[in-house]
Structure 1
Amino acid sequence: MSNLERDPAESECGAEAVQDDALEFLEPRKVVLGRTTQVRRLLPNKNRRMIGAWCFVDHYGPDDLSARVDSYDAPGPRGMLVPPHPHTGLQTVSWLFEGEIEHRDSVGSHAIVRPGELNIMTSGNGIAHSEVSVPDGPSILHGCQLWVALPDDARASVPPAFNQYVDLPVATFNGAKATVLIGSVAGVTSPAPAYTPLVGADLAIDAGQTLALPLTPEFEYGVLVVAGRLRIGDLTLGHGEMVYLGTGRTEIDLSTEIETEIETEGEGVRCMLLGGAPFEERLVMWWNFIGRSHADIVTARADWQAAIDAGGNDRFAMVPGYDGDPLPAPGLPATELKPRGRSR
């Protein structure tokens, strides 16, 4: 997915890792993508810019695509409508809970993104892609769009690629399961490519259960609730809310047993676990580009605009099969973009 903000602010990628028993609530902010989609953006966050190499987390839906749009949109049906746009220095991770999205990219990939199937696109030095809701697909759209920052050696050496995994491994627990997108959970490992120590999983926890989830103490983590209500320590999270966990833990209790003054029927919880070794490199993150300097971003933007004018170039080919114009880059800010480390 693109960052479709027309005046994107420079993102300070990186924040100091917090040790031991830190629990930090990450407040989402609403962002309108284009004319048809509103998301809850959890990363970058004013309090925490990255979790491991995860540098961008958008959660959207559930949206009824059969309904008319509301006040923040133009007239017409809902749905994902993201024209061809570029990426550099990152991986995009698409994960759906409901619905279908059609993916096309400049290396010739054409795939339907479906619930429970991992779609991971590695940009290397440059790739372009489009994402559009399937016109005759399911009426509900609900999912996450995630970015992973590539380390410097990988962004320069790894070629652009798209990988789709329709049968991911599952770690099972008493009253819970974890579908492993990237990395390992409880000894169960995903086949998806990762270029730093990283983990991503979709957790489903039954009503009335507490999952003692094993963790890697060298990793920092985030937990994003996408359905139900979850208790972690003294925090209770609801739909679209996220908590940051510092390093140093070997496990964490995730509980669906919520104490309230009103007696309610218990419900299960679905949440995303994102984690990894704290990312040490200094980054510049602007619009859909991740680089290491202001010059990196200026060059990437110029190369994308040149590709639009020429119908493709050596860095950014056009997206075959997409019926419409690519997305032009916004203007650069007046001030120089500066690389940021993990410490503010």
Structure 2
Amino acid sequence: MTNTERQSAPSDSHDGKPCPGHPVLERIETRGAEVGLLPIHRALPSRQRRMVGAWCFLDHAGPIDYAAGQGLRVGPHPHIGLQTFTWMIEGEIMHRDSLGYEQVIRPGQVNLMTAGRGIAHAEDEVSATAPGRLHAVQLWIALPEAERHRAPSFRHYPDLPVIREGGFRATVLAGSAFGRTAPAEVFSPLVGLDLAADGAASLTLPLEPGFEYAVLGLIGETRVEGEALPPDTLLYLGLGRRELKLQCGAASRLVLIGGEPFGEEILLWWNFVARRPQEMEEATLAWNGHRHFGEVKGSPSPRLVAPDIAGLHLRTARP
């Protein structure tokens, strides 16, 4: 998916609060936006927290039912310096990219696209003639300096580790948990989990104390360390936790993300993650000039135009 916010200056990863060296329970309300005709809730970046580990972007789409022809329509657009990570809960999305990949993603599957030095993609509803339902989570992972100029790639993961514990069904999306490791190729120490319960459940989840964590409510209400977490609220957990207590009295679902605090400062603007504003200016000019990124074939949605970058060069990253 794409970032539809058209801010005139890049988001600095150090604009938010520094990562605390101890556990916290910091509540962050998501904000509404629209992506490709559909409403979403954006949890990261926020004014309070720009990143959680290497995770630098988190959108929750749905659950929503839509009429025929009113599904997701995100036309071709570019990325640099990041990985896009799509977790599908309900519905289907067609991915197309400038490497020539076409892939339908279905419930229980992950699409992982590594932008590296540059790629373009589009995401569309599978059928324009039938109504549908969509529930998904999309995240971006900032690539570290040693990997951010790598060749672009795309991977589809139809089978993920699933563990049942304490009434919860835990799907390992990225990294390792419960002794199981997800197949997704990532380049920073991190973890992602989907935790769903069909009824009352209780779980003590083991954590890595060197990771910072956050949880986002998706469906129902879960109590996290005794704190009520409703849908579309992010609870930032800080560092130093060895375990996390989760409880629910009825059906609920949440996603947990975590990772080692990202040791590099990044700038995020539109669909680009970089280190200097000049890199994003060059990428914008290349995309709008039909250079560098290649073309996405087959998408019925119009190609997006990068927003005006006037004044972008006035904002510089701290050394």
Does the TM-score normalized on the shorter chain lie above 0.5? yes
Hey, what's the Cα distance between the residues in 1 that align with 2:175 and 2:99? 25
Q: CA deviation at 1:225?
A: 1.2
Secondary structure of the corresponding residue to residue 278 of structure 2? helix
After TM superposition, give the deviation of residue 147 of structure 1 in Å. Answer: 0.4
Q: Which residue of 2 aligns with 1:38?
A: 39
State the distance in 2 between where 1:166 and 1:283 align.
31
The equivalences for 1:243-258 within 5 A come to: 243-257=235-249
Give the residue type in structure 1 aligned to 2:183.
P
**1:256-296 superposed Cα distances (whole Å, 9 cap, x missing partner):** 04xxxxxxxxx122111111000010111100011110111
1:160 equivalenced with 2:138 (yes/no): no
Q: Distance in 2 between matches of 1:235 and 1:189?
A: 28
What letter matches 1:144 in structure 2? V
Instruction: Verify the 8 A CA contact 1:105 1:319 in the aligned structure 2.
Output: yes
Q: 1:200 aligns with which of 172, 176, 192?
A: 192
User: 2:101 & 2:275 partners in 1: Cα distance?
Assistant: 28
The residue matched to 1:300 in structure 2 has which SS? helix
Q: Which has the higher strand share?
A: 2
Contact kept, 8 Å, 1:92 with 1:146, in 2: the verdict is yes
**Would the aligned equivalents of 1:24 and 1:244 in 2 still touch at CA under 8 Å?**
yes
User: Could you give the per-residue CA deviations for residues 215-240 of structure 1, whole angstroms, max 9, x where no partner exists?
Assistant: 00000111111111011124211111
Q: Structure 1 49/331 Cα, relative in aligned 2: closer, same or farther at 3 Å?
A: same
8 Å Cα contact 2:7-2:269 kept in structure 1: no
- Give the structure 2 partner of residue 131 of structure 1: 123
Answering whether residue 289 of structure 2 is matched by residue 297 of structure 1, we say no
> 1:95-134, CA deviations, whole angstroms, 9 ceiling, x for partnerless residues?
1211111100001110001110010000010000000111
**Counterpart of 1:268 in 2: which secondary structure?**
strand
Number of aligned residues: 315
Would you say the 8 A contact 2:10–2:277 is kept in 1?
no
State the alpha-carbon separation in 1 of the partners of residues 197 and 58 from structure 2.
Answer: 22
Shift of 1:175: 1.5
Q: Deviations over 1:33-54 (max 9, x none)?
A: 35x1221110001111100000
The CA deviation string for residues 200-220 of structure 1, in whole angstroms up to 9 with x for no partner, is: 111113422211001000001
Q: 1:324 to 1:249 in 2, by over 3 A?
A: closer
Conserved? CA contact 1:5–1:33, under 8 Å: no
Matched AA of 1:211: L
Counterpart of 2:53? 52
Match of 2:31 in 1: 29
- Matched residues in 2 for 1:126 and 1:253: separation? 40
Aligned amino acid, residue 337 of structure 1? R
Superposition TM-score, scaled by structure 2 size: 0.94
Q: Which amino acid aligns with 1:187?
A: G
Instruction: Give the SS at the match of 2:200.
Output: coil
Match of 1:328 in 2: 305
Distance 1:212 1:237, change over 3 A: same
Give the CA deviation at 1:5: 2.7
Higher alpha-carbon deviation: 185-194 or 320-329: 320-329
Mapped partners of 1:340, 1:80: distance in 2: 37
Larger radius of gyration: 1
User: What is the identity percentage for the equivalent residue pairs of Structure 1 and Structure 2?
Assistant: 44
Q: Decide whether the 8 Å contact of 1:53 with 1:276 is kept in 2.
A: yes
Q: CA RMSD in A?
A: 1.7
Aligned to 2:255: 272
What is the letter of the counterpart of residue 42 of structure 1? A
Runs of 4+ aligned structure 1 residues displaced above 4 Å come to: none
Q: Judging changes above 3 Å, is the alpha-carbon distance between structure 1 residues 50 and 242 closer, same or farther for their aligned structure 2 residues?
A: same
Match of residue 146 from structure 1? 139
Distance 1:8 1:235, change over 3 A: farther
CA contact (8 A) 1:171 1:186 kept: yes
Cα 1:293–1:168 shift into 2, 3 Å:
same
Q: SS state of the match for residue 51, structure 1?
A: coil
Residue type of the alignment partner of 1:338:
T
Specify the code of the residue in structure 1 equivalent to 2:42.
Answer: R
- 2:5: which partner in 1? 5
Question: Is 2:136 the counterpart of 1:115?
Answer: no
**Structure 1: 5+ residue stretches without partners:** 68-76, 258-266, 308-312
How far apart in 1 are the matches of 2:270 and 2:71?
22
Task: Report deviation, 1:171.
Answer: 2.6
Gaps of 5+ in 2: none
Deviating more after overlay: 267-276 vs 122-131: 267-276
Query: Deviation at 1:27?
Result: 0.9
1:261 matched to which residue of 2?
none
What is the alpha-carbon distance in structure 1 between the residues aligned to residue 23 and residue 274 of structure 2?
32
Which residue of 2 is the match for residue 16 of structure 1? 18
